[in-house]
Structure 1
């Protein structure tokens, strides 16, 4: 695996131009220490402006042999005053998407399996987190008329958020959270776990992912 490039931490952002707190700046800089699989392509993106006083966003895709297998967005939020719903001063928010083969989409246990990949990625790495919440959505497309020659497609989408536990210095290990999140992307894209030894982990077959938007 390769470490994340330094440009991941190029901009710790604040919507009102306020001075960036040292804890948030350090949390953003720590993202660059993440160990990423070679299939990952990741770069900073414009963060949302109204979710928290400070935010930093990343976009990523799982690419193998020139084909996108999955993509997603991860946003690090920070409110120095704390947030009751977060039970902390930091929050991570994500959207992950991939296209499924029709037979896989028919599995009634698929949403539970995909959610377990997120929590399992944290637990496998000893990543401390709390207050997880989210949804797993399946959306199908069937084509008619002039598009009838297209194969029916189903996309899975995971929207989730969680609170990264802060260390003694008040800063969470964002590199560990980013590494775990990238492993979720790889699994939903059909790649085996990074260690390749966990027989209990269910993976989806490789498939064409969603087009980059």
Structure 2
């Protein structure tokens, strides 16, 4: 797919080349049309067998005129969601931990996110009546947006790291690549 703007085309090429762990599956999905003149969105899941451990969406926004609130031309917006154990869902520190996961993912990739903002939500739900046999469930949702000064592929890879962190996967040491199972 060709885009009208060569800068955006380069951003998309870099985004598509971002390295993800083999547990992550991605696909391009419809992007919001009114937030910026140019946008692209991807959805991702971290799977273990048939189990969806975490999932999310990442939206690339580009405005060649620069948006004052962004303090730049390029912005990433993410929504990341994962199931957590019931006792974690009731822990009031979980939201701080979730935000720290995001910051750590940036740090581990050696990047800075400008104009970073977001929210972390924790929920827990009990089932009743016919659903009473379901265990207490909890989720964490991390919503964030930031301006990308450069190296967008590293920012996208950091988002992939966040998906894995939220899924409970151990981080890989620098320079180590996990090989995907073939059977």
Q: TM-score, normalised by structure 1?
A: 0.78
How many residue pairs get aligned? The number is 174
Whether contact under 8 Å (1:97, 1:156) holds in the other structure is yes
- Unmatched 5+ stretches in structure 2: 175-183
Q: TM-score, normalised by structure 2?
A: 0.90
Q: Deviations over 1:12-41 (max 9, x none)?
A: 5xxxxxxx2111110000113211111010
- Unmatched 5+ stretches in structure 1: 1-9, 13-19, 166-171, 197-213
The corresponding residue for 1:7 is none
The corresponding residue for 2:165 is 187
The corresponding residue for 1:206 is none
Q: CA deviation at 1:66?
A: 2.5
Measured in 1, the distance between the counterparts of 2:16 and 2:173 equals 21
Q: Deviations over 1:183-208 (max 9, x none)?
A: 00000001011218xxxxxxxxxxxx
Whether contact under 8 Å (2:89, 2:123) holds in the other structure is no
The corresponding residue for 1:115 is 99
The corresponding residue for 1:149 is 133
Q: Deviations over 1:127-183 (max 9, x none)?
A: 232010000001221111121111121111111100011xxxxxx322111111000
Moved over 6 A (4+): none
Q: Deviations over 1:101-138 (max 9, x none)?
A: 11121222211111111111111111232010000001
The corresponding residue for 1:91 is 75
